[in-house]
Each structure stands twice: as C-alpha cells, then as structure tokens.
A and B are shown apart, each in its own frame.
Chain A
Amino acid sequence: MIRAVIVMNTQGKPRLLKFYEFQPPEKQQELIRSVFAVLSERPDKVSNFVEADAIFGPGTRLVYKHLATLYFVFVFDNSENELAMLDLIQVFVETLDRCFKNVCELDIVFNFNKMHAILDEIIFGGLVLETSSEQVLKAAEEISRLEKSSSSISFVPKAVTGRFSR
C-alpha cells in the first residue's frame, strides 16, 4: 500500500502531507527532513526511485518526481510497482494541472484542501482508487458543484469554478 504522499518544494518546505498511517506532527517533520535530505542530494537524470527503508522502515521505497519547484513524493511498500507509482504521480500532477491550469506551487499552497480532495479521489486509504485524471476531475467537479449548490457561498477560487462551469 501507499504509506504517504508528500509534496514539498525544493527548499524542503512541505506543501502537502498525507500519511495513510497516522504519524504525530513531530515525526512528520522528521520524516520530511530526512526525505528532503535524500532527495536534495540526488543528481539530475538519475532514476526516480529511492530505497527508503532507513526512513520509513524495512521494505519501503519512494518514488519522486521533480517538477519546477516541487518534489512529488509517494512512499509505498512491496505491494506496489515502482513504475506504476511513477505514473500515479503523473496522474496526480496531470489532474492538478487540468484543475488549476498550469499548476504552480502557489496553487498548491492556497488550495491545499482542494488538493486533498483530489488526492482522496486518487488514493483511498493507501490504495490506488482511480487512475484516470478525467474521472478524478469529474468527481472533483461534482464535489465543487454540489458544494456550491448546498451553500450559497463558494470557497473555490473563481478561476477554477469558472473552468468548471464551462
């Protein structure tokens, strides 16, 4: 199963944290620090896989993708396939990109509840739920539509809702 999803910037500042097994905040920070220490030392143009048993316990690996100023990191154990996880990151990023139109770090900072909503549509309780970014987007759209109709106030950025209403 997937143990954690971490999005952090190239300074090591967390932008999105989701641990599928509860970790107390202090432990989370420690994990982020060690993950960042590993990632920041890796040169460009090497594989996207890192064995993470020193950080997350035996048998765990992590797959990361470095996009612009962000690292997308998925931590998982033996029951997943590295290449598939790499594609799952791709699904996640694609979905974000569709949702925010050229996603950048800022979108993530300001909409991180929406990020969580999208992630929940892709990964459920540590397992891959949906891998089609259209489907994910559709679900996310539906959520925001219903949210809008259920209460008069909108919390979703206009840019996004504008896209959705199209």
Chain B
Amino acid sequence: MEQLKTIGRELAMSSQGGGWAGQSKEFLDLVKSIGEARSKAEEDRIILREIESLRRRIAEPDVPRRRMKEYIIRLVYAEMLGHDASFGYIHAVKMTHDDSLPLKRTGYLAVTLFLSDDHDLIILIINTIQKDLRSDNYLIVCAALTAACKLINEETIPAVLPQVVDLLAHSKEAVRKKAVMALHRFYQRSPASVSHLVSNFRKRLCDNDPGVMGATLCPLFDLITEDVNSYKDLVISFVSILKQVAERRLPKTYDYHQMPAPFVQIKLLKILALLGSGDKQASGHIYNVLGDMFRKSETSSNIGNAVVYECICCVSSIYPNTKLLDAAVEATSKFLKSDSHNLKYMGIDALGRLIKINPDIAEEHQLAVIDCLEDPDDTLKRKTFELLYKMTKSTNVEVIVDRMIDYMISINDNHYKTEIASRCVELAEQFAPSNQWFIQTMNKVFEHAGDLVNIRVAHNLMRLIAEGFGEDDEGADSQLRSSAVDSYLRILGEPKLPSLFLQVICWVLGEYGTADGKYSAAYIIGKLCDVTEAHLCNDTVKAYAISAIMKICAFEIAAGRKVEMLPECQSFIDELSASHSTDLQQRAYELQALLCLDRQAVENVMPLDASCEDFEVDTNLSFLDGFVEQSIENGASPYIPESERAGMSSVNNFRSPYQQEASGHTLRFEAYELPKPSSIPVISQVSISAPTADLVPVPDMTYYRESDQASKISSVAEASSADIGIRLRLDGVQKKWGKPTYSSSSSSTTAEKATNGVTHVDGGVKSQSRDISHDSRRQQSEVSSEKQKLAASLFGASASKTEKKPASTHRVAKGNTANAERSGVTRAVSPEISKAKVAPSSPPPDLLDLGEPIMPTSTPTMDPFKELEGLIGPTLTPASLDNPATTSGPKAPDLMALYTDMPTGSSSSGVTLASGDAYSADKSSSLAKSVPTTKKGPNPQDSLQKDATARQVGVTPTGNNPNLFRDLLG
C-alpha cells in the first residue's frame, strides 16, 4: 500500500512536470487511479469503466490516428490486467495496415499480444505481413518478422515462407538474424514444412556477421537434438568457432561483462555436448578447447560462471576424459564452496551430472551437500534432493528416503509432494533393505501423501504383504503380516487418513487381521466399522471394509466358530444394503448370504489366505459340458460359435461368454452371407458331438479356440464328413498344444513366462536373491552402526565396489516382486500374462494349419508334449518341492489347466495328459471333470474362480463388474 501511495505521488509530480508528454491526460489518470486503487474490486471497476469508454470511442468514425494508437495501447494495458478487450482486436488489425511506422509497429505489437496463431483475424494480417516482409524499410521488415513469429501457424507458413527465405540474404545483419530465427520458429511449429530449407541453417553458420552465426546456433541445436548423426561433420567447425570466440577474436562489441560473446559460447557448448555424447572420436576434437576454457575460466562474474557450468555439463556429457573430469570436479567444488546460492545450486546440479560418470566424486563434497539440504532456500533443497535421488544405493536408501519423507511432510506444495512421494516409492521399491522397512516407509508415504500417489503403489504394497518373503519362510511372512496388522490398528486411531491408505488398511485387516489369533474377529470387525464411521470415506473404502468384514466372517465360520454380529456392524450392513451404489448393496447382500451358508461352502467361497493363489478363468466353460450334453440329448440345438454363424474369423478368443453373447445379439449392418462356407464345419461338429458321448469334449473344448480356424478350414474343400471329423479332432488336440508349441519354439523365454511352473522357479530365484538382500542388509546394519554423521551414511562406503553387486541383483529381484507391472513375471499376474501370450498366437496357427494335414497323426500330438516336458521338466524340479505338494487344485500349473480344461482337476490328469496319449487324456479329463461338477455343481466353482479373479486382478472391489458375484448367490 505504501508503495502505491508513492507511485501516486510520483505520478502526480511527474505529470505536473510534463515528463510523460507522450500520453494523454486520460491515460495518466487511468494509471494513477489504478495505482491508487485499494482493492482488486476497485481496480476492476476502474478498468471496466475504462473499457466501456474505449468501446464507445473506438467505434466512433474518424478517430484521429494518433488517438487510435493510444486507445490500442490502453486496450493492451487493460488486457494485461486481465480484462477482455476482444472488441478492439479488429482495430489493432486495422492498424497494422497503416503506412506510418509507429502506428504499424503499435498495431503489430497489439496483435502479437492479443491473438493466438489460430485466431480468425489472422487471415486479415497475412497479406500485410507478406507486403511488409518485402518492404524497403528494414524496421518494417523486422516488425513483420516479429509478428510472423508469433502469428503464423502451420497452415499459413507457406504464405510467408518464400519472403522469409529471401530475407536470409538481406543486407542488414539484424534482418538476417531475425529471418534465421523466424525460420527456426517455423521449424518448431511444423518441421515438415521447412525441412527442405534446413541446409540454409548450415549456410548461415558461415555468415560474415557473428550475430547471425550466433542466431543460427539455436535452430542447429534443435536439429541436432533431433538427429545427432547427420551433424557429426560440423564438430570441427563448432570447435573452431568456439576456439575463436574464447580467444577473443570477435569484435569488442560482442563482449559482455568482459566475456567474449558468452551466449554464443554457451550455445556452442550445449551443441558440442550433444555431438560428443557417447562418441569417442568427436569428443577427441572437443577435449582441447574445453581444457583451454577451464584454464582461462573467469569465475568472478555471473556470466563467467555460466560458461564454466556449461563446460562442466559438456564434460559430463561427452566421452569421459580424466583430465577434463578433474578440471570439472574442481570447478564444481568451487561452486559448492561459494557463498552465493545461485552458484551452490549450479554446483549441486553439476555434481548430479558428474556422479553419473564417477559416483566417488560426491564423497568429497558430502558436507557441502548436507549444508544445502539444511538450507532455507527451497529451490536449493529440491535440487539437493534430486541429487540424493540420483545417488541412492541400497546402502544409503534408508537415510535418504527418511529425509525425503521428512521433507515431504514439511511442504504444502501438492505438485512437489506428489513428485517426491513417487520418488520415495520408487527408491523404496528398488532398494528396500527389508520388507519390514518397505512397509513402514510405504505407510508413512501413504499417511502423508496418500491421495497423491498412484493407486498402483497401494496394490504393490498389498501384494508384498500377501506374498511376503517367499514361500520358504512362512514364519517370517506371518510375522510381517502381524506387524503390519499391528501398525495399521495403531494408525487407525489417527484422524484424517487418505482414502487410498484406508483401502490398504481394510484389505490387510480383512486378510490377516485374525490370522495370528492375537485379535478376535469381533475386535477387528469393530475396528473396520469404526473406520467407515470415523473417516468420511467414499464408496471404494466402504467396499473394501465390507469385503474385509466378509472375509473375517468367512474365516471364522470356516474355523468352526460362531460369528455374532455386532450392532454397529449390523447397522453398517443395513446402511450398505440400502446404498445408492449397487456394488455396495451387492456386497452387503453377499455378506448376509454368506452368513447363512454352512462351513463347507464358506471354505470354498473364501479360502483362508488365498490371495496369492493362482486362479484360472475357464474360458471354455468346460464344467458346463455335462449340462450341455444333457440338453442336447433332450433335443436342444447345439451352440454354434459366433464366428461360424457370421463367417468371420476375427473373434477374440478370450472374450467372456457374456460379451460374446451380447455381440451376437447386436444389430448387424452388413448383408447376410451365403450359408455355404459355414455349413460344412457345423455339420461336422454336430456329427461328432451328437453320437459319441466320450468324444464330445474334443470339439466342445475347441469351440472357442477353433472358431476362427474352423472357418478357415471350411474354405478348404473336404471330401467326407468323417474325414473332417478325424481331422478336426486331431486339430483340436494339436491346436491346444500347438499354440504354446508355436510360441515356445519361436522363443523359449516367452513360453517360460507363460508356464506357471517356471514362474515358480522365478519365485525361487527371488527368494534366493532376497537372501542376498538380507546379507547386504546385515552389512548395512554394520555400516549404520558406525553412522554417526548423516554424511557418513549418505556417502561413506557407499561407493565401495564390493557392495555394488548385491545391490544390483537385489534391485532386479525387487523389481520382480514389488513391481509386477513392470517386470510382468510375478505369479500374481501370470494368468494375465499367459492369456496375453496365448492370445496373439491365434493368428499364427495358419502355419500349423497348412502343416497339420500332411503330418502323421502321432507326431503332432507327441512333439509338443516332448518339448513342453523338456521345458518344464528340468525347470520344475527345484520348484516341484513346494509347488504340487502345497498347492491344491486351482494352483495347478497354468499350462496343464489350459489343456485339461478344468482348474480343479487334480494334477494326475495333467500328468496322464502329458504322458502323450491325447485320446485317453480326453477320456480321463472328461471323467475327472464330471467329479467336481457333480460334487459341487457348476455355480460355486465358477464363482470361486471369479472371486479369485476379483481378488487378484482387481484387489480393488471397485464394482465395475457386478457379474463377478452373480453366481455366488445363485
């Protein structure tokens, strides 16, 4: 306010003194009144009044030109203060047509400030710009170039391009310079439209005028960033230019604060850094001049330091050279020791670049770095955290992440909070010394920045808690889980927890709350009910909570205990049953239904601690075979796959039956096709499926997979239906084996990923590497015991080479466990992967198709088995100890399940299948299949799987798919 008063006074004085004779009294008054305005509202009022009067006056006929110029300037002023002045745009455009230079310049200024490059009025200016670019007066040309830079877009570039190119040879250097930059601007807008002119930039590099040469460096920098290799030949030219500049060969007029053309030097250094990056030969040319520049560097001025900093960047980017690195390190340490915050900032940044080449460099500057971390300057602090982030290793991760979290808690800036939270998560996932620490760290991150982090992180945390250390160490797992439960029960007491964190808490409490018997089910359920009351939570959290309650109830029933409903729980359920969200309603009803089920059923619906179990989605719905059979016998017509009905072959094999059905019912816009091609396979299918019951499964199984193939086969003329039958049957078997065989023969690694057995081996590897990580942790704890200074923990011993190895392997292992999405190998996602692996292989069978009829019947069925056995056999052995022994039905290896078509089918049937005889396998599988179907009925089994799907794929009960639980309640 005080300041404003002074302005007012000064203004009054100066206006009296006539210091502002150029402007009219009105404008002076306007500025004065704005300066004296006490509030934003008052200012707005003044401006609005001004705009009103301008609107009126500007529209008057015969406004004197000089007047008009002032009006336009006042409009610009009003718009700068945030008010709409669009009514005056057209007048600004008109002003560009004026012949007088000052008016034209004002017009151009106004339009460049007012208009975007796709504004409708631009079309009225193009012509003027064209004319002005050809003007004799270079100032007009310059003004037009400035306007062109701002206003010309991709569509209008061709209109002015010829003129701009002509100007590259203009006699005035100022014009040449601006023409080069305008061309550069065009290149930025639309590289394609000026690509044929790129050579001009090279030419202008040799311009007589150093200013023009300097201007050329900007577009060249862009071009070289895009494509380094085609400019390697210029390295020598750039180096010689830099040399000449640094040796003060340029006229004195280019000096700035006694530095010769520093901006040109900086641009050149940036370009050389790009060209020399990873190129030993090119870097060789650069070493010399860089050495000279370091020697002659002048660090007393700001700009001198800017050049030195750019030299350091260049050194860190090009092929390393020890001498230059030493010089760069020395310069960096000068920066860090400086009192100026600016230089410290540059020093930290430079250090961040140099440690990429040699991590040891950081060690000698540890104290300086710690100082920067404590500095009140926020920018410096952030830069330092960036540096720490870059130098994090498994040895110092705990200190660094703790620091980061402390800082994260202290700031309010959501944007940066998000960034630093995601960095914490990333570091913790990469380098976590133990799962315990990981979970604690994640808890802290969630607690303080919960709603800012990616939901993926929450899922990773849940997965980690569920999977634990690995299967060899059950005790540690349960310890981990109970400690997680303990910490969550404690945290629940705190007010205002982010919803994402609440989701994690609910899930963990539901899964493991009662697992160790420490807490009673009623206690946990009570807590869960409190959660929904104490925190104003959204539907997702409520869904998590009710699912957790359901799980606990199920575990209780399964354990033979009786569940008594707490009143608050009952009211929670009642509330949800009446919820607007159908998902919540459904969950509530499911819970109530579950409570009425007997122990056996509950055990199947909600198996204890089964969140890590594998599951298969039986896309063939083979458990319905018996039902289908019966229906067909009763006279129902068989199901014909959609692809055959439509005669199309582009049906996704893995679409769910619901979708398939639905798409079948949609309106069809193309004409019906001739029935001829599709009729043959249909008949053949029927001919097989109807008479012989024991052969039914073959075509049935193949229905989905075969659908597209069958239609292709159909185009091949076949003599007799019996032939087709046999061939088809073989086809079915072959196909099922054929797909993985195909992929495995092409690359064994993909097949390995697809098979579950191997992923188990992966788990084995993982646990091994975890052991290593424990070792490194022990080492670390030894180190940390002598950690008296933060510095020591950050830098000390961190660079020793011996520890690097375990760190890196650990990193990989961690990537596997904690980052399923990234690695894509973990068990939890393996079903999806196997799907993904199989799905793309549906087109390739063309190849097999051609081969099959020629092959002898036995070989195609045998070969893939052999191959697969070969694949699985050796790799399975280490894992086999824990795999088939501990796993029940659903955990049977994926591959087997795919071919036996029954997830619960015991592994024995899988073995018989693997033994080679396809027919007997089919029989046995159909036999085995009938067992579960009669025992449990199709519904519980299906829903079991689906529940497993929901738990594993989603983990989130977001309620996107209400179908999931449909079968559960029958």
Contact = CB atoms under 8 A, between A and B. Distances in A.
Interface of A: 1, 9-11, 13-14, 16-18, 20, 22, 24-26, 28-29, 42-43, 45-51, 53-54, 69, 79, 81-84, 86-87, 90-91, 104-106, 109-113, 116-117, 120, 124-132, 134-135, 139, 142-143, 146-147, 150-151, 153-159
B344 A47 contact: yes
Nearest to A84: B306
B342 A79 contact: no
Contacts of B182: 125
At the interface, is chain B mostly helix, strand, loop or mixed?
helix
B47 to A, nearest CB: 12
B24 to A, nearest CB: 11
A110 B20 contact: yes
B23 interface: yes
Given A120-B146, A151-B100, A81 B20 contact: no
Interface in B200-249: 211, 215, 218, 221
Contacts of A116: 109, 113
Contact of B211 (A69, A130, A153): A130
Nearest to B215: A129
A46 B109 contact: no
A117 B105 contact: yes
Contacts of B105: 117, 143, 147
A51 to B, nearest CB: 6
Given A81-B266, A83-B309, A125-B149, A113 B302 contact: no
Interface stretch (B154-162, B373-381, B712-720, B752-760): B373-381
Given A14-B80, A124-B181, A131 B262 contact: yes
Interface of B: 3-4, 7, 10-11, 14, 18-23, 27-28, 31, 35, 66, 69, 73, 76-77, 79-84, 100-103, 105-106, 109, 113, 115-117, 137, 139, 146, 149-150, 174, 177-178, 181-182, 184-185, 188, 211, 215, 218, 221, 253-257, 262-263, 266, 270, 302-303, 305-306, 309-310, 340-342, 344-346, 375-380, 382-383, 413, 415-416
B389 to A, nearest CB: 14
The 3 closest A-B pairs by CB, nearest first: A83-B306, A54-B415, A47-B341
Contacts of A126: 185
Contact of B100 (A45, A105, A150, A159): A150
Contacts of A151: 100-103
Nearest to B254: A132
Contact of B306 (A22, A87, A142, A158): A87
Contact of A47 (B31, B106, B380, B415): B380
Nearest to A109: B31
Nearest to B98: A151
A54 B420 CA distance: 13
B302 A83 contact: yes
Contact of B21 (A51, A54, A86, A157): A157
11 contacts: A22-B116, A28-B80, A43-B377, A46-B378, A46-B380, A110-B28, A124-B178, A131-B262, A132-B253, A146-B137, A157-B19
Contacts of A153: 66, 102
Given A25-B82, A151-B101, A79 B7 contact: no
A156 B177 contact: no
A53 B106 CA distance: 33
A115 to B, nearest CB: 10
A51 B378 CA distance: 10
B172 to A, nearest CB: 11
B267 to A, nearest CB: 8
B101 A46 contact: no
B302 to A, nearest CB: 6
The prevalent SS among residues of A at the interface is mixed
Contacts of A109: 31, 35
Contacts of A113: 73, 76, 106, 109
Given A47-B341, A113-B109, A132-B253, A42 B378 contact: yes
A146 B209 CA distance: 24
A53 B139 contact: no
A28 B82 contact: yes
Contact of A143 (B139, B185, B305): B139
B256 A129 contact: no
Given A51-B379, A79-B270, A158-B21, A124 B146 contact: yes
Contact of B341 (A46, A129, A156): A46
Contacts of A11: 3-4
A44 to B, nearest CB: 10
A28 B518 CA distance: 59
B346 A83 contact: yes
Nearest to A130: B211
Nearest to A53: B415
Nearest to A20: B150
A79 B221 contact: yes
Contacts of A112: 73, 76-77, 80
A16 to B, nearest CB: 8
A17 B306 contact: no
Given A48-B342, A125-B182, A135 B253 contact: yes
Nearest to B13: A106
Contact of B79 (A1, A25, A84): A25
Nearest to B11: A106
A110 B27 CA distance: 9
B96 to A, nearest CB: 14
A97 to B, nearest CB: 15
A6 B339 CA distance: 28
- Which of B211, B263, B383, B415 counts the most chain A CB atoms within 10 A? B263
Given A81-B310, A151-B102, A110 B3 contact: no
Q: Which of B20, B21, B102, B117 has the most CB of A within 10 A?
A: B102
Given A106-B7, A106-B10, A158-B18, 9 more contacts: A22-B117, A26-B82, A43-B377, A79-B270, A82-B306, A112-B77, A128-B218, A130-B211, A159-B19
B181 A106 contact: no
A67 to B, nearest CB: 13
Contacts of B416: 54
A29 B263 contact: no
B415 A87 contact: no
Contacts of A81: 266, 270, 306, 309-310
Contacts of A42: 377-378
Given A17-B80, A105-B7, A83 B270 contact: no
B106 A83 contact: no
B253 A47 contact: no
Contacts of B377: 42-43, 46-47
A155 B103 CA distance: 10
A82 B263 contact: no
A120 B109 CA distance: 10
Contact of A14 (B4, B18, B81, B342): B81
A48 B342 CA distance: 6
Given A81-B309, A120-B146, A132-B254, A43 B376 contact: yes
Contacts of A45: 341
A83 B31 contact: no
> Which one of A17, A25, A45 has the greatest number of beta carbons of chain B within 10 Å?
A25
A158 B19 CA distance: 7
Nearest to A157: B22
A155 B69 contact: yes
A125 to B, nearest CB: 4
B302 A86 contact: yes
A158 to B, nearest CB: 5
A147 B415 contact: no
